[in-house]
Structure 1
Amino acid sequence: MTIDFKKDLLPHALGIAIFYAIVALYFSPLVLENKVIFQGDILKWEGSAKEVMDFREATGEEALWTNSMFGGMPAYFISLDFPGDITNAIVTVLTLGLPHPVNGLFLGMVGMYVLLLSFRVRPIFAILGSIAFAFNTYNLLSLAAGHNAKIWAECLIPFVLTGIHLAFERKRLLGAGILALGLLLQFKFNHVQITYYTFLIGGIYVLVRVIFEWKKEGLPNLAKTLGVLLIGAILAIGGNIGRIATALEYSTYSTRGEVTIESQEAGLDKDYAFGWSNGIMESFTLLIPDFYGGGSSTPLPKNSESEKALRQQGLDPAQINGFVQGAPTYWGDQPFTGGPIYGGVILVFLAILGIWAAPKQTLITFGAIIIFSLMLSWGKNLAWFNYLLFDILPGYNKFRAVSMALGMTLFAIPVLGMVSLEKIVSEKKLKPLLLAGAVTGGLLIIFSLGAGMFRFAGAGDQGLPDWLLGPLREDRKAMLQASAFKSLGFLVAAFALIYFTLKEKISDLILGVGLFILVLFDLWTINRPYLNEDSFDVSPSKTYFAETPAESEILKDDSYYRVLDLTEGLLSAGKASYRFHAIGGYHGAKLRRFQDLIDFRLSPELNGFMKKAQEGDFDFEGIQTFNMLNTKYIIAGNAANAVFENPSANGPAWIPSSIVSVTSNQEEIDQLASINTKSQATVNEGEFGSVSAGQGNISLTSYAPNKLNYTANMTQPGLAVFSEIYYPEGWTATIDGQEAPILRADYLLRGLSLPAGQHEIEFVFAPDSYFKTKTPMIIFQYLIVLGIIGGVFFTVRERNGRV
C-alpha cells in the first residue's frame, strides 16, 4: 500500500488542526485557563443532580432516584452512569481531549468534514462547510444557555448521515459502523428531539435515494444496503439499551406520556408545544442576523434613537445605560430569544446556488430537508401543517420548542452549499453563480432599502411608554438595514472570489482560503456578542450556590423534610435542590402526576397562602397538599429571618384515621382540596380495592435516595401513608422482609397496608430497566468498536485492490 502524504494525509491533518485551533482560540478561557462557561441551565441541572452525584461519590453506586426536586423522581434524565460504559473514553479519543461541552463542536466539524469528503467535496471546501456548520449562532447561543446535550446531538448528525451515505455508496460495512457510532453517541447524550430530527433527515435521504436508484441498483441491492444499515442502528440501540429502556419506562409517566386526569389529552398541550414557534419571515435571520432585532436583550449603539428619547425625558444616566445595554430589540413571534438563528450569508448564498448547480438528487434531498425543517420550525404560524403532524406523526406530540427544527436547516445548508460550490468550480459554470447572486443580492437590497415596509412592533413593547416606542422601532429598523448591508458586503466579496476563480484569474486554493477567512470572520463577529470572555468564570457554581443565611438556618435541622423556595418558584428551583429536598425544580419532563398537583392544588394553595401572609395570617393549615409533601420550611428571601417553619407539615409518614375512597383521578385530586391530609387519605378503589384505616405510629429510621427504612407500631391494622412520590416501576416494599404491594394514596404518594404489631419497613428502588440492561449494553458497545475497525480495514483493502 502506497500513501501519498501530501495528498492522502496532509489536507486532513491540516483540517483537524484548524478545527482544534478554532475551538481552542474561541474558547481559550475554557481550554487554556480552566474556566467554565456560565450556563444558566447547567447550573440548575447541577442543583438537581447534586444528591445523585454525592451518592455516587460516597458509595460507588447509582441512586437512580432523587428527592431533590418535585418531591422525588427517577434520575434517569438527570445524572446516570453505567459501569463499564466506554462512550466517555470514545468521546475523549475522538475529541483529542478537548473539554466538555466545546468538544462537541470540534467533533461536529470533524463529522461534517468526513461527510463532505464522502460527497467528493475537496478538503478546503469541506473545511469551510464544517466550520460554518459547527459555529452557526444557534450552536453558540445554545452553548451560552447550557443546552449541551442538544449541541452534542446536533453535532453528531453528520456522522449518522455519513454512515448512511457510505452504505449506499457500496461501503456497507464501514457505513454501518459509522452509523452505529454516530447513533451510539447521540443516544448517549439523550436529546430525544434531536435524535427524532436525525431520523427524519436519514429518512428523507433514504427515500430520495431509493426513488432515484431502485431501477439502476435493483431492489435486492437496495434491500441489502438497508439491511446493513438496520444492523448498524440495532447495534447503536443495543449500545444504549440501558438509557433507552429507562427513558421509555419513564416517558410513560412523565408530562410527555399518558394522561392521568381523565379530561386531558396524551402528550404535550399544543399551546405549550408550539410556544416557541419561529415566525415565517423570521427565517430570514438565516441570511440577515438582525432581521428581527437580534436577541430579546441587546445593546444599542451609541446615540441610538432610544437613547436620545430617554435623555429628552430627563432620566438619569444609570437608567439610560441600563435600558440601552439590554434593550428589547427583538420583535419576532417567540416569547423571547437569546439571539438570531444565523446560517451565514455566504453559506445560504451557496445553498441557493444549488438550485441551478447541485446534482438533482442532492438538491432534492437537502432542499427537502431545508424546506421541511423550516416548515416544522414555523409551528403555530403554519398551524394547518404542524398541528396535523402533531396529531398523526408518531411520538411528535412529546416535543416542544419546534424552532429547534432549525438545527436540521443549519445542517443541510452547508452540505448543499459545499456540494454546489464544488460542482461549479469543477465544471467552471458561470450561469448558476449569476442567478444565485441575483436572487440573494436582490433579497438583501430589498430588505435594506425597503425596511420601512415592516412595523417593527413586538410583544416586548408591552409596558413601554408611547414616547419610547417610536424611537425603539427606528432602532430596530436601523439594525435590520445595517445587518442587511453587512450581509451584502460579505456576499459581494464571496461572489467576486468565485467569479474570478471561474474566469481562471485566481486559483481554487485562493478561493477556498478567501471564503474560509470571510466565513470565519462573519460567524466570529456575529457570535461574539452572545458568547465572549465575559461568559466565562473560574467557578460560577461556587457563586451561584453560595450558602445564604436562610439556607444556613434551615441546615441546623437534620431531620427529614422538604423545602419550598419562593425566591425561585415551583418550576425553576435550582438553588433549593442543591442542598435540600425541594418542592419545586427545573426539568423539562417532570412526572405528570406532580404537574397535575401543581396545576390543580399547589398553585392555588400557594396563591391563597401568599395573599393571607401579606395580611399577616400564615395559614399553614390551608396548604394541605404542601403539608402532605412534608414541606417544613418556606424560604421567602436570603436573610435568616426570611425562613418560615411550617408546624403543620405531615412528616415523613403517618397513619390516617379515615380513608376517602374515590373512583377517578379527577375526583381524587379534587378531594385533596377538602380533606385534612394528616388525618384523612384518598385511595382509588378502582385500582387498589378497598383499604381500611388503622391506628398507630410510624417513623423514618434511615434515608438514602434509593432506600428508605421505617419502624411502625400498629395498634390497629390499616393504611400507612409515606410522604414519598409513588412511581409504579422499580420500587419494592417489604414488611419484616416480606414483599408487600405499594398502594397509591393522595393522588401521588406511596401507601402500605400494615398489619397490627411492630414492623420494620423498607423501600428499595432497583428498576429492571437499569439492572437487566447494563451488561448487554456494554457488549454492544464493544461490537460497534469492532465493526468500525473491520469497516476501515476492509475499505482500505478494497481501495488497494485486494478484494
Structure 2
Amino acid sequence: MTIDFKKNILPHAIGVAIFYAIVAFYFSPLLLEDKVIFQGDILKWEGSAKEAMDFREATGEEALWTNSMFGGMPAYFISMEFPGDITNAVVSVLSLGLPHPINGLFLGMVGMYILLLSLKVRPTFAILGSLAFALNSYNLLSLAAGHNAKIWAECLIPLILTGVHLAFERKRILGASILALGLLLQFKFNHVQITYYTFLILGIYVIVRLIFEWKKEGWASLGKTVGILALGTFLAVGGNIGRLATALEYSKYSTRGEVTIESKEAGLAKDYAFGWSNGIMESFTLLIPDFYGGGSSSPLPKNSATETALRQQGMDPAQINGIVQGAPTYWGDQPFTGGPIYGGVILIFLAVLGIWAAPKQTLISFGVIIVFSLMLSWGKNLSWFNYFLFDYFPYYNKFRAVSMALGMTLFAIPVLGIISLEKLITEKQTKSLMMAGAVTGGLILLFIVGAGMFRYAGAADQTLPDWLLGPLREDRKSMLQSSAFRSLGFLAAAFALIYFTVKGKINDLILGAGLFVLVLADLWTINRPYLNNESFDVSPSQSYFSATPADKEIEKDTGYFRVLDLTEGLMSAGRASYRFHAIGGYHGAKMRRFQDLIDYRLSDELSAFLSKAQEGDFDFEGIQTFNMLNTKYIIAGNAANAVFENQAANGAAWIPSDIRTVTSNEEEIKVIGEINTKSTATINKEEFGQIPAGSGSIELTSHAPNKLTYSANMNQGGLAVFSEIYYPVGWTATIDGEKSEILRTDYLLRGLSLPAGQHEIEFQFAPDSYYSTKTPMIIFQYLILIGLIAGIFFTIKDENGRA
C-alpha cells in the first residue's frame, strides 16, 4: 500500500492539531498561567485522599485504608496505585502530554474522529462530529463540578466502539486490541456507572449487527468476531484486575451492596437513586439550551422583569445585582443543576435527518441508543419503565443520578448525525433535508409561539415572596423564547450551507468549514458562562485547606482521635479530612454500616446535641455513638474558640464491663442508642457467639493507616473494643503474634476477645484482592500493547495484500 501524504496523513494531522488547539485555547489559563480549574468535588476528594497520598510519599507503599473520613474505609476508590502500572504513561502518550483532566476531552475528540472515519465518514465531517461530542455542555458542566472520572469514562466510549466496529469489519485483531485498550483505560478511571452504560451501548450495537448480518456473514464468522471481542474484554479486565477485584470486594459492604438492617432492601433506595431524574420535557434542552431556565443560579439580562420588580420594592443596587446575577431561573424536576444539557441544535438537526437519510442499520443502532438512554435519564418521571429496571435488571439498583444516562445520548447524537450528513451529501438527498429542516425548525417555532403554555414554576419558588414569582416566571419564559430564536438562527445557517452544497453551489470543504464554525460558536457561547477564565485559580486547594485558628487549636493535640466538622456536615465534609481523622466525609459509596449509623443514630444524636448546645448545655454524654467513634473535637467555626473538646470520647480502645447480646442488626443499632458505649458493648451472638466481659486497661502505642498496635493489661479475660471500623476482608489481628478472630461489636466497631495478662495487639490491613492481583494485572497490560502492535501490523499487511 502506497501512502499518499496529502490524502492519508495530512487531513488527520490537521484534525488532531485542531483538537489540540481548541482544548489548549479554551483551557489556556491551565496551560499558560499555571492555574487549575476550581472543582468543588475534586477539592473534597483531595481532602479525603491526603492521608493515603502522604503515606505513599513517605513510605513508597500503599495504605489501602484511610481514617480520613467516615471513621475509616478502604482507600480503593479514593487513592490507590499499582507498581508497574503503565496506564498513566499510555494516557500521557495518547493525549500528547496535555494535563489532567482536559486531556480526556482531547482524547474524546480523537476517539470520536477515529470512530467516524471507521464508519466511512470523510475527515472534514469527522472533525465536526468530534468537536460536537467532546464540547457538549454536559462534559463542560461535569468538568466544572469536578466529575473528572466520569468525563474520562465517557470520552473513551468512541474508542471502545471503534474496536467493536473494526472487529465486525473483519479487522478482528486490531478491533479486539482497540477495544481492550479503551476498556483498560475506562476501567482505570473507575466510574462503574459509565462503564455499565458503555456495555449497554455495545450490547445494542452488537445485537443490531447480528440481526442484520447473520444471513450475509453466517454464524461461524460472526461467532469468531464475538469471540475475539470477548477476548479483548477479558484482556481489559485482566489489565485492571486489581482495581476490579478491590472494587468488587468492597461493593458488598458499601451502600451499593448487601442489606444490613433486615427491614431494608438491598442496593440504593429508589428515592435516593432517582433523585436526579431528568424531566421528560426537560430533554428539549438538548435542542434549546435555556428551555428550562439554564442553571439553578443563572444571571438575568439587564432590565429583566425580576430586576424591575426588585427596584419597585426599594432594594439597594448591590442587593439587586446579587439576586439578578444568581437568579433561580431553573424550573425543572431535578433538585438543582449547574446548567442545561445541550447537545447542539445543528447536531440534533442532523440526527433527525437520519430518520430519512441514514442507513437503516445505523438509524436503528444509534436511534435505539438515543431513545433508550433518554428513557433511562427520565428516571422517576417514567417510573413504570425505570422502576422495573431498578428491581429486575442486573446491578442497575447500584447506581444513582440516572440523568447521567444522557452521556449515552450525547454520544449517539453526533454519530448518527454525522453519518446522516455524509449520506445526504453523497447522495444529494434534497427531500430528506427538507423533511428534517421542517421537523426541527417547526418544533422550535412551536415552542416560540406556544411559550405561554408552560407554568414556569420551579421547586425554588417555594422560598420566594409572591410578588417576585410573576416577574421571575416571565423572565423564564423570555429565556425560553430567546434561546429558541438563537437555536433557530443556528439551524437556519446550517440548513442553508447544506442546501447550497446539495445544489452544487458550494463545495464540501466550505460546507465542512462553515458547519465547524457554527458548531464551535454554538457550543462555545453556551459553555462559556459555566466554565470560563473565572473558573480557574492559581491554587484553590491552598486557600480551601489553609489552616484556620480552629485547625491550629486541634493540632496542638498530638493524640489519636476523630473530629466532627459542623461547618460542612456529615455528608459533605472535605476540609476536616485533609488534616484529621474525620467522622464526616464526601464519597458516593460509603460503607453501608456507617450509612446505617448516620440514618439511625448519628443524625438524631447530633440534632439533639445542637438543640441543647444552643441553650448552653453541651451534653457530650448524650452523643454516645459519636463517643464510641472517639470523636474528641467538634468544630463549629473557624475561630479557635469555636472548637469544643469532648471529654466523654471513649478513646482509641477500652474494656467494657458489660456485654449486651443481640440477635439481629436491627436490634443492635437500636441498643447502641440506649447504652453507655464506654461501659457496655453489644455482640451479635448469632454471628460471634457469647463473649464475656473482662477488666483491665488497653492503650494505642502506634498507628498508621494500615497498621495499629496496642498494649493491653487484662486483669480478667474478655472483650476489648477498638474505635476502628469493622471491615471483614483484609484486616488481620494478632495477639502476641498469634492470629485472632476480629469480632464486630457495637454494630460497626472492631473487637477482640483477650485472655488475662499482658499482651501486644496488632491490626494490619493487607487485602489479597490487592496483593495477589497486582503482578498479573501488569502482565495483562503489556499483552494489550503487544496485541495492539500486532493488530496494526496485520492490518497494514492485509491492506498491502489488497493493493
What is the rounded CA distance, in whole Å, between the counterparts of 1:588 and 1:154 in structure 2?
18
Alpha-carbon distance in structure 2 between the residues aligned to 1:713 and 1:599: 36
Query: Superposed, which structure 2 residues align to 1:446-457 within 5 Å?
Result: 446-457=446-457
Aligned residue for 1:763? 763
Question: Offset of 1:32 from its aligned partner?
Answer: 1.8
Residue 34 of structure 1 deviates from its aligned partner by 1.4
**1:611 to partner: Cα distance:** 0.7
Instruction: Give me the whole-angstrom Cα distance separating, in 1, the residues matched to 2:667 and 2:438.
Output: 65
Q: Is the 8 Å Cα contact of residues 24 and 32 (structure 1) preserved in structure 2?
A: no
Residue 230 (structure 1) aligned with residue 235 (structure 2): no
- The one-letter code matched in structure 2 to 1:444 is I
Give the Å deviation of 1:802: 6.7
Q: Aligned to 2:534, what secondary structure does the other structure show?
A: helix
Match of 1:734 in 2: 734
Q: Given the alignment of the two structures, is residue 716 of structure 1 paired with residue 710 of structure 2, yes or no?
A: no
State the AA in 2 paired with 1:285: T
- What is the aligned partner in structure 2 of residue 413 from structure 1? 413
Name 1:117's counterpart in structure 2: 117
Deviations 1:160-180 (A, max 9, x none): 100000000110000000000
Counterpart for residue 533 of structure 1: 533
| 1:31 shift after superposition | 1.6
2:699 matched residue in structure 1: 699
Residue 274 of structure 1 is matched in structure 2 by 274
Q: CA deviation at 1:377?
A: 0.3
SS in 2 for 1:568: coil
**Any idea what SS the aligned residue of 1:413 has?**
helix
> Partner residue of 1:18?
18
Deviation of 1:271 (Å): 0.5
SS at the partner of 1:800? Answer: helix
Secondary structure, in 3 states, of the residue corresponding to 1:644? strand
Give the SS at the match of 1:121. Answer: coil
Residue 311 (structure 2) aligns with: 311
Matching residue of 2:54: 54
The equivalent residue for 2:95 is 95
Q: Aligned partner of 1:298: which letter?
A: S
Distance 2:2 2:211 in 1: 38
Measured after TM superposition, the shift of residue 632 of structure 1 is 0.3
Q: Secondary structure at the match of 1:703?
A: strand
Q: CA shift at 1:240, angstroms?
A: 0.2
Residue deviations 1:750-792, cap 9 Å, x none? 0000011110100000000000000000000000000111001
Q: CA–CA distance in 2 between the matches of 1:666 and 1:283?
A: 42
Say if 2:485 is the partner of 1:516.
Answer: no
Q: Unpaired segments of 5 or more residues in structure 1?
A: none
Matched, 1:291 2:282: no
In structure 2, the residue matched to 1:580 is 580
Deviation string, structure 1 residues 568-587 (Cα, Å, up to 9, x no partner): 10001100000000000000
**Structure 2 residue identity aligned to 1:418:** I
For 1:734-753, what aligned pairs fall within 5 Å after superposition?
734-753=734-753
1:793 aligns with 2:782: no
Q: Which residue of 2 is the match for residue 391 of structure 1?
A: 391
Q: Distance in 2 between matches of 1:198 and 1:617?
A: 54
- Cross-structure match for 2:2: 2
Q: Which residue of 1 aligns with 2:212?
A: 212
**Range with greater deviation from structure 2 (350-359 or 310-319):** 310-319
Distance in 2, Cα, partners of 1:99 & 1:721: 46
Match of 1:200 in 2: 200
Q: Which residue of the partner structure matches residue 261 of structure 2? A: 261
Cα distance in 2, alignment partners of residues 385 and 676 from structure 1: 48
User: What amino acid is aligned across from residue 39 of structure 1 in structure 2?
Assistant: Q
Q: How does 1:356-395 map to 2 (within 5 A)?
A: 356-395=356-395
Tell me how large the CA RMSD over aligned residues is.
Answer: 0.6
Q: Partner of 1:551: helix, strand, or coil?
A: helix
CA distance in 1, matches of 2:732, 2:545: 34
1:197 & 1:127 partners in 2: Cα distance? 25
Question: Which one-letter code corresponds to 2:191 in the other structure?
Answer: H
1:92-123 CA distances to partner (integer Å, 9 max, x unpaired)? 00000000000000000000000000000000
- SS of equivalent residue, structure 1 residue 298: coil
1:126 aligned residue: 126
Letter in 2 for 1:210: L
2:243 is matched with which residue? 243
SS in 1 for 2:444: helix
How many angstroms apart in 2 are the aligned matches of 1:191 and 1:552?
36
Question: C-alpha offsets along residues 167-196 of structure 1, whole Å, 9 cap, x if unaligned?
Answer: 001100000000000000000000000000
- Give 1:466-505 correspondences, 5 Å limit: 466-505=466-505
User: In the TM superposition, what whole-angstrom CA distance separates every residue of 1:699-746 from its partner, at most 9, and x where no partner exists?
Assistant: 000010000000000010000000000000000000000000000000
Contact kept, 8 Å, 1:115 with 1:158, in 2: the verdict is: yes
The secondary structure found in structure 1 opposite 2:763 is strand
User: What letter corresponds to residue 347 of structure 1 in structure 2?
Assistant: L
Give me the whole-angstrom Cα distance separating, in 2, the residues matched to 1:259 and 1:709. 32
1:515 aligned partner, one-letter code: L
Where do residues 655-674 of structure 1 align in structure 2 (5 Å cutoff)?
655-674=655-674
Q: 2:80 corresponds to which letter in structure 1?
A: L
Distance 2:424 2:557 in 1: 73
Q: CA deviation at 1:135?
A: 0.2
Q: Which amino acid aligns with 2:286?
A: L
Amino acid at match of 1:662: V
Q: Within 1, Cα distance between the matches of 2:793 and 2:392?
A: 44
Once residues 132 and 220 of structure 2 are traced to their aligned partners in structure 1, the CA distance between those partners, rounded to angstroms, is 38
Are 1:44 and 2:28 an aligned pair? no
User: Residues of 2 paired with 1:468 and 1:452: CA distance?
Assistant: 18
Once residues 135 and 696 of structure 1 are traced to their aligned partners in structure 2, the CA distance between those partners, rounded to angstroms, is 64
Please report how far the alpha carbon of residue 448 of structure 1 lies from its aligned counterpart in structure 2 after TM superposition.
1.2
Distance across 2 between alignment mates of 1:24 and 1:483: 28
1:551, distance to aligned residue in structure 2 (A): 0.6
Give CA-to-partner distance per residue, 1:135-181, whole Å, 9 cap, x none: 00000000000000000000000011000000001100000000000
Give secondary structure in 2 for the equivalent of 1:715. strand
Question: Which residue of 2 is the match for residue 149 of structure 1?
Answer: 149
Cα offset for 1:645? 0.3
Q: 1:336 maps to what in 2? A: 336
Instruction: Give the whole-Å Cα distance in 2 for the aligned partners of 1:67 and 1:765.
Output: 12
* Secondary structure at the counterpart of residue 714 of structure 1: strand
After superposition, the C-alpha distances for 1:272-293 in whole angstroms (9 at most, x for unaligned) are 0000000000000000000000
Question: In the aligned structure 2, how far is the partner of 1:328 from the partner of 1:788?
Answer: 51
Q: Which secondary structure state, in structure 1, belongs to the residue aligned with residue 722 of structure 2?
A: strand
Aligned-partner residue type, residue 800 of structure 1: N
Task: Report the Cα offset of residue 215 of structure 1.
Answer: 1.0
CA distance in 2, matches of 1:613, 1:2: 81
Equivalent residue, structure 2, for 1:676: 676
Alignment length (residue pairs)? 803
Q: For 1:712, what is the secondary structure of its paired residue? A: strand
Find the aligned partners of 1:702 and 1:770 in 2 and give their Cα distance: 24
Give the alignment's TM-score, normalised by structure 1.
1.00
**Alignment-derived partner of residue 181 in structure 1:** 181
Equivalent residue of 2:702, what SS? strand
Contact kept? 1:562, 1:581, Cα under 8 Å: yes
SS in 1 for 2:570: coil
* Cα distance in 2, alignment partners of residues 427 and 32 from structure 1: 46
C-alpha separation in 2, matches of 1:596 and 1:186: 31
How far does the alpha carbon of each residue in 1:275-334 deviate from its partner, in whole angstroms, 9 at most, with x for none?
000000000000000000000000001100000000000011121111000000000000
Preserved CA contact (<8 Å) 1:95 1:106: yes
Q: CA deviation at 1:442?
A: 0.2
* Equivalent position SS for 2:463: coil
Aligned residue for 1:462, secondary structure, equals: helix
**Structure 2 residue identity aligned to 1:280:** I
Deviations 1:601-637 (A, max 9, x none): 0011001111111111111101000000000000000
Moved over 3 A (4+): none
CA distance in 1, matches of 2:31, 2:224: 45
For normalisation by structure 2, the TM-score amounts to 1.00
Taking the aligned partners of 2:405 and 2:295, their CA distance within structure 1 comes to 19
CA distance in 2, matches of 1:458, 1:647: 47
Q: Residue in 1 aligned with 2:68?
A: 68
Aligned to 1:106: 106
Q: Which residue of 2 aligns with 1:615?
A: 615
Contact in 2 for aligned 1:105/1:155 (Cα 8 Å)? yes
